[in-house]
Structure formats: C-alpha cells, structure tokens
Amino acid sequence: MRAPAQDGGPPLLRVEGVRKHFALTKGILLTRTLGHIKAVDDVSFEIRAGETLGLVGESGCGKTTTSRIILNLEEPTEGRVLLDGEPIHGLKGRALNAYRAKVQAVFQDPWSSLNPRMKVGRTIAESLIVNASGDRAWGNRARIDERVRELLLQVGLRPEQAQQYPHEFSGGQRQRVALAAALASRPKLIVLDEPVSALDVSIRAQMMNLLKDIQAQDDVAYLLVAHDLATVRYMADHTVVMYLGKIIEQAPTAALFEDVRHPYTKALFSAVLVAWPGRQKEEIELKGEVPSPLNPPSGCRFHTRCPWVMPRCSQREPALREVSPGHFVACHLFDNA
C-alpha cells in the first residue's frame, strides 16, 4: 500500500510499507516459534519539515512500535524508513549518532529521560555533547553553558534553574526540561509520545502552545503519538488512525474532524468529548476487546466489532482509498467511492 501523498515539498520522513512482526517463542531456549505478533502491518506515511503528524488509536494499535521504528530503536521486519531520502536502518557508528541527533523524542513521563541525581543544566549539556557528532565547538565549557541558558529560555524556564534538580520542578516544568534536552541537538524531527497526557489540564495548553511556538521558530517536525483527540486536533496538521497494526484512515486533521468516515474512527470520536461545533455527535459504542495481533481477524481487522459489518468484510481486506482530496479510508463501505 503506497504512502498517500500530502501537499507541499519533499518529505522529511518517509515510512514505506513498514511491517514489524515479533516472533512469539516457547521452550527453555525459546526456540519454538508459536506464531508472530503483527504489531505493525504495511504502514506508510510521510512527514514534512515544520509539520505535525498525529498518530492515534487504542493501545495495542501499533503506534508505539511505529514510533520506535522511526526512532531507530527497532528494525522493521519489512519496508523502510527514510530521512531526507536516506534509509535509516542499518546505520552504524557516527552515521547512527548523527541520525539520533536529528531525530529526538519526548516521552509522557519526563522522569524517564531525566537523571534525578543530576542538575537539569548538566542533563541538557550532556544531551548537547552526546549529540554533537564530533563538533569541537562543544568542547568549550562557556559555549555549552551559553547554549544551555538559551535552551532553558526557549522552553520558558529561567537560566538559573540549570542549577536545580528534577524533583525541584513541577510536572509541566520537568516536561519543559525534557524538551530542552531534546532540542539541544537542533533536531529535524521530534517524536512526541503522549507529551501532555500526564500534565494537569491547565498546564497542557501552555505546553502545546510552547511546542507550536518552537515549531514555528525552528521548523522542526513532530510525530505526535497520542490517544487524546483534543490534543491531536489542536496540534496536528495531518492525522493517521491505526487499528491493529494497520492504517484505517488518514487525512488532513481539519478534514478528518469535519468528516470522519471510517466506522472505527467514528467510534473513537464518539467515545470522547470532542468539541465539535455545529455537528451532532454520533453515538457509536465500541463492543468487545481489540482482537489479538497474534491472530488478527481475516479481511477487515475491525469486522468483529463493526456495527456496519457486511459479508465481504471478513473475506477481503479493504484497500486504503482516497474518498476526498487527501482523505484516505480503508473500508468496504467506500469500495465504489
């Protein structure tokens, strides 16, 4: 399945037909393969410089595995990922370090990326040095201190806070520190994995506005992995919806929120209180659990839970079709679209 083209210049990141299947093994030496968990199954999309792509779906849909493949923490079983036209898997040594400098991550829990025994200024400085890829300028202490000050100011903290430890910050401030560390290497892409979901509602808007301001200044692209649709609606230019390892709907965010097409996306949207001016919210109850990715349902993977299921749904897998400009849906209801 080809990556649906989006408007604009050449993509910064291109994900092409990526699959990730994990072998499920048994026995003392784990040599007996019982099957394969199809965590990601033929996923394609693109992200352009300065753009945010939202990746949404229930837990187990494959969005975390997809982001780990993009961060080069997992090798795909099939397919490839390209940054600026260059494949990212198989990189080693300096080339891999250079990739890590260009593609950074901010996670839901900033504690996971901050050392509690290290002053935050040093954490940011270490990120700067580790990702410097041999740039000798970062051997200069005064330059490092100056850049740490700049980064703290950029994320809305005071330069003197470099001398504080993580526990002296609030949750929102710690997330700002994690963002400063991610920005240290001037990345082209940041994977934001649920970046505001652990924050108080009042702080979320500040963090989202900060992320947008930084994007406008630095032209950095974001891959926003989130389950909160309000965050995706506010932040993302394009949205990709995944179900059981597959992309089932993909569109410019405004078009998606204006006209949801896929039954699963409709159910996702109806399950949350999304401010949706001028539209009647369709109540669709999602019945049952997400099936096992070890043995996904035949045909359309959503057919065991879909209120509109038809005989052909369990027999044939629906292709991702363009149903309106830039809006792609994988559902047999649109076979004649």
Binding site for ligand SF4 (CB under 6 A): 263, 300, 302-303, 306, 308-310, 313, 318, 331-333
* Cβ neighbours for 53, distance < 8 A, ≥ 6 positions apart: 45, 47, 221, 222, 223, 224, 236, 237, 238, 239, 240
Q: Minimum distance between the CB of residue 139 and ligand SF4, rounded to whole angstroms?
A: 57
**Which distant-in-sequence residues (6+ apart) come within 8 Å of 209 by Cβ?**
none
Kindly tell me the burial class for residue 224, based on how many C-beta atoms sit within 10 Å of its own C-beta (0-12, 13-18, 19 or more): buried
Burial of 198 (0-12, 13-18, 19+ CB in 10 A): middle
How many Cβ atoms from other residues are within 10 Å of residue 280's Cβ? 6
Amino acid symbol at 166 = P
Helix residue spans in the chain (DSSP H): 63-70, 93-102, 120-130, 141-154, 171-183, 201-218, 229-235, 253-258, 263-270
Closest CA to 21 of 62, 53, 56: 62
Closest separation between CB of residue 260 and ligand SF4, Å?
A: 12
Residue 123 and residue 154: Cα distance in Å, rounded? 16
CB of 268 to ligand SF4, least distance (A): 12
User: Which residue's CB is nearer to ligand SF4, number 22 or number 334?
Assistant: 334
Do 143 and 137 contact (CB within 8 A), yes or no? Answer: yes
Nearer to ligand SF4, 130 or 309 (CB): 309
**Cα separation of 286 and 288, whole Å?**
7
Compute the least distance from the CB of residue 190 to ligand SF4, in Å.
32
Which residue number, 210 or 333, has a Cβ lying nearer to ligand SF4? 333
For residue 333, the minimal CB distance to ligand SF4 (Å) is: 5
Nearer to ligand SF4, 4 or 318 (CB): 318
Residue whose CB is less far from ligand SF4, 49 or 300: 300
